[in-house]
Amino acid sequence: MKNTAILGILKLIAWLPLGVARTFGRLLGHALRLANTRPYRVTQINLALCYPHLSSSEIAALTKDRMSQLGQAFFETPILWRQSSDWLLSKIIAVEGREYLQAALDNPRGTILLVPHLGNWEVIGLWVSQMTTMTSLYEPPKMAELENWIKTSRQRSGATLVPTNVRGVAALLKALRRGETTAILPDQQPPPSSGDFSPIFGVPAQTMTLVHNLIQKSGSQVLLCTALRAVGGWQLHFMHASEAINSADQQTSLAALNQGVESIVALAPSQYQWEYKRFRTRPEGCPEIYPKGS
């Protein structure tokens, strides 16, 4: 019954105008800060770790901004799942680097879109899949009641969803070899067998090797992209990844991937998912970063 109630609330939120939803989101962010919640505490830890040059007051201000952005993301995402493709198109304020995306789609090589957890990554998948054949990995949400709604939304725009297992990765590779497109969230912590340590913001982080393996096996091109929250909608950004990401040397490729994430986060640091425990797996001998209960 609890999950049914949550789903009902999300579906009510989905009917809100975008501006109203974002106002409620800012209020939620304020509450997250005042209550000293786990997202608030983890954000403070990550920001202090990744931006050691910032003062304590600057960290506090950025953490406050992040909570506001997190609340807005929570309230606006159900709207994306309900609304039509035409509605989404009307909310795209600008597209920076559109020529990079178009050149990639015109190229017969497959295209890997790296979409860090910045802004609202749902927007990228829903928007790009209207322009090209897209296959993406899909892990069902922990709340089963949400699965049909999310899958229907993503597939309505033309995306093909495959499971996050060996069969799904094989489907991605086949799609890329056919010259199609996939979108990957490159800044999630992978299982030990699927990653290796590489620095991001100067901190060693378990980094997925999936992107490196797909590039080596398919010869695909790579773009970094994001959908940043803007007044009235979203501003999309596409940029080339460093040539080093194509290196046959895994460590070189992983370093370039993380440097790309850093570059795109720099566009709007407060819209990045700092509340995620990105550094919970540590190299041997390194101390834990997140205190128990954080």
Residue 247 lies in a domain: yes
Q: Does residue 34 lie in a domain region? A: yes
Task: Answer yes or no: is 292 within a domain.
Answer: no
What is d(CA 199, CA 259) in angstroms, rounded to the nearest whole number?
9
Sign of the torsion formed by the C-alpha atoms of 152, 146, 40 and 197: negative
Q: Domain for residue 286, yes or no?
A: no
- The verdict on residue 284 lying in a domain is no
- Give the model's pLDDT for residue 155: 83
Residue 47's domain comprises: 2-271
- Pairing type for strands 221-230 and 233-240 reads antiparallel
Q: What was the pLDDT predicted at 23? A: 98
pLDDT of residue 48: 98
Q: How high does pLDDT run on average in the chain?
A: 95
- Asked if residue 277 is part of any domain, the answer here is no
Supply the angle between the helices 144-156 and 2-13 in degrees, to the nearest 10: 30
pLDDT at residue 1 is higher than 70: no
114 within 8 A of 263, measured Cβ to Cβ:
no
Residue 281 placed within a domain? no
Q: Is 259 exposed, middle or buried, given 0-12, 13-18 or 19+ CB atoms closer than 10 A?
A: middle
Model pLDDT for residues 32-79, shown as the tens digit of each residue: 999 999 999 999 999 999 999 999 999 999 999 999 999 999 999 999
Number of structural domains the chain divides into: 1
Calculate what percentage of the chain has a pLDDT beyond 90. 85
Task: Note whether residue 259 is domain-resident.
Answer: yes
Query: How do residues 263-280 score in pLDDT, each as one tens digit?
Result: 999 999 999 999 999 999
